[in-house]
Amino acid sequence: MIYRRAVRLAAQETALPLSTFPQTCPNTDAQLRDHHYLPE
């Protein structure tokens, strides 16, 4: 899954443990595709 790979890369780049990041993507597919979506 793309999200898991992104989390691994982010953990490597930041030296943060994997447990820092959510196990699943917190956004829906629709939110990710919406260019005007801003998370709260």
**What pTM was computed for the model?**
0.73
Encode the chain (40 residues) as per-residue pLDDT tens digits. 899 999 999 999 999 999 999 999 999 999 999 999 998 8
pLDDT at 40: 81
Q: Which residues contact 17 (CB under 8 A, 6 or more apart)?
A: 11
* Tokens 């709260």 belong to residue: 40
pLDDT at 18: 97
Rounded to 10 degrees, what is the CA torsion of 14, 23, 6, 26? -100
Cα gap 37→31, rounded to integer Å = 6
Query: Of the candidates 5, 17, 26, which has an alpha carbon nearest to the alpha carbon of residue 37?
Result: 26
